[in-house]
């Protein structure tokens, strides 16, 4: 028996595609919406092949109120998971208004249409980038917030809108602050496939391993961390996807508000990740030490106690699985 239909915005994206599968596995129906501005249409048929069923997809933009209203009118939607957004810190400095447009106006429009349609369960994609990264890790959900970039501020505004809307209406929301999602579906057929040259560590590691780039630049080895390189909380994308299902279930039962870090709670340095990748996959990742990257912080690791306590979610896949699955996807893609 179906547990209800969930609207997933950005369903063809990296997190969206894995979450559609996790929702199906938990007995939900899904209506996806995507404008394919940072994803490929072929992802939809790959999701369908993995789930062995058809995915209802609407081609549309989250700022298009009419499109959303028509979608809510056509399907009996009980909850929304809102991924569709732009997500590069660097780009957000150069294109700040576009970040406010897509991320803030997009979230506002989806929220308004949810309210109009009486949809009360809303899961929001936020990011660890909302925290003041100068404070020591691990950070918990009450740690100091900053939003040091237009991207970070657009996520903070989204969070704030949810809190205000919840006070004014019966909206139930979950804010999920992701740390560093990596890896891919173990089939190797969906994963992270950014348009243009990748900037995040794991996609770059894959490119170098596939000899599409001669070497990786390790941005700084003079941080005060275990080996001097940056430390992050890498978390498998399937664990991240499952967190959305747990959050949604909690909202559809009795939880009214959730704000949760989504990570593993353990930090991995850049050199440790490279080493783990080489060992897990039997490949070489040539690298050199380069200057620090502007805007980077030494360490950012989650305290994940609240997610375990409030929705019973905990990441279960280890660094080896993240490396193996990322590489399998990179190989099927031809990187």
Catalogue the active-site residues.
Answer: 151
Footprint of ligand UD1 (CB under 6 A): 87, 89-90, 127, 129, 180, 199-201, 204, 216-219, 230, 232, 270, 293, 295-296
Q: Which of 38/189 has CB closer to ligand UD1?
A: 38
Q: What is the largest CA-CA distance in the chain?
A: 56
Phi-psi region at 285: left, alpha or beta (left = phi > 0; alpha = psi -120 to 50)? beta
Q: Which of 48/296 has CB closer to ligand UD1?
A: 296
- For residue 11, give the H/E element and its range: none
Nearest to 103 by CA among 125, 122, 119, 121: 125
Minimum CB distance to ligand UD1, residue 294 (Å): 8
- Whether 203 contacts 277, CB under 8 Å: no
Minimum CB distance to ligand UD1, residue 10 (Å): 14
Q: Which of 72/327 has CB closer to ligand UD1?
A: 327
The whole-angstrom separation of Cα 236 and Cα 245 is: 15
Taking 3-state DSSP, the helix, strand and coil percentages for the chain, each rounded to the nearest 5, stand at: 40, 20, 40
Minimum CB distance to ligand UD1, residue 131 (Å): 11
Q: Which of 26/217 has CB closer to ligand UD1?
A: 217
Q: Which of 51/198 has CB closer to ligand UD1?
A: 198
- Tell me the H-state helices in the chain: 14-25, 42-51, 65-74, 89-94, 96-99, 106-117, 150-168, 201-209, 237-253, 270-281, 305-311, 319-333
Minimum CB distance to ligand UD1, residue 257 (Å): 23
Minimum CB distance to ligand UD1, residue 180 (Å): 5
The two tokens of residue 182 are 């990596």
The whole-angstrom separation of Cα 261 and Cα 138 is: 10
| Distance linking the first and last C-alpha atoms of the chain | 39
Q: Which of 30/206 has CB closer to ligand UD1?
A: 206
The DSSP 8-state label assigned to residue 128 in this structure reads G
- Alpha-carbon dihedral of residues 173, 175, 176, 178, nearest 10 degrees? 160
Residue number with the smallest Cβ distance to ligand UD1: 230
Partner residues linked to 260 by β-bridges: 176
Minimum CB distance to ligand UD1, residue 151 (Å): 6
CA angle (307, 76, 125) in 5-degree steps: 30
Q: Which of 71/193 has CB closer to ligand UD1?
A: 193
- Residue 163 vs residues 14, 156, 171: alpha-carbon distances, Å: 26, 11, 9
Minimum CB distance to ligand UD1, residue 300 (Å): 6
């Amino acid at each position: 028996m179906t547990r209800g239909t969930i609207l997933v915005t950005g369903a063809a994206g990296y997190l969206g595609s894995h979450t559609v599968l996790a929702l199906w596995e938990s007995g939900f129906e899904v209506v996806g919406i995507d404008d394919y501005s940072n994803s490929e249409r072929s992802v939809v048929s790959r999701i369908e092949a993995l789930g062995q069923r058809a995915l209802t997809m609407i081609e549309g933009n989250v700022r298009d109120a009419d499109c959303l209203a028509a979608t809510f009118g056509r399907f009996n939607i009980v909850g929304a998971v809102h991924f569709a957004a732009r997500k590069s810190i660097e780009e957000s400095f150069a294109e700040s208004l576009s970040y406010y447009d897509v991320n803030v106006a997009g979230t506002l429009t989806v929220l308004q249409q949810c309210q109009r349609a009486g949809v009360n369960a809303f899961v929001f994609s936020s990011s660890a980038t909302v925290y003041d990264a100068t404070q020591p890790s691990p950070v918990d959900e009450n740690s100091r917030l900053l939003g040091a970039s237009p991207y970070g501020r657009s996520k903070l505004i989204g969070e704030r809108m949810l809190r205000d809307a919840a006070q004014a209406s019966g909206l139930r929301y979950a804010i999920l602050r992701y740390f560093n999602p990596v890896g891919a579906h173990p089939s190797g057929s969906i994963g992270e496939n950014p348009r243009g040259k990748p900037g995040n560590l794991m996609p770059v590691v894959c490119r170098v391993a596939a000899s599409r780039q001669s070497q990786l630049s390790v941005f700084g080895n003079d941080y005060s961390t275990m080996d001097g390189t940056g430390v992050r909380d890498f978390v498998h994308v399937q664990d991240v996807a499952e967190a959305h299902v747990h959050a949604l279930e909690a909202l559809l039962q009795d939880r009214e508000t959730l704000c949760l870090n989504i990570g593993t709670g353990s930090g991995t340095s850049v050199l440790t990740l490279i080493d783990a990748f080489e060992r897990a996959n039997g490949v070489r990742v040539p690298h050199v030490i380069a200057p620090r990257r502007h805007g980077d912080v030494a360490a950012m690791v989650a305290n994940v106690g609240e997610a375990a306590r409030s929705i019973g979610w905990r990441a279960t896949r280890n660094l080896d699985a993240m490396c193996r699955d990322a590489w399998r996807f990179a190989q099927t893609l031809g990187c």
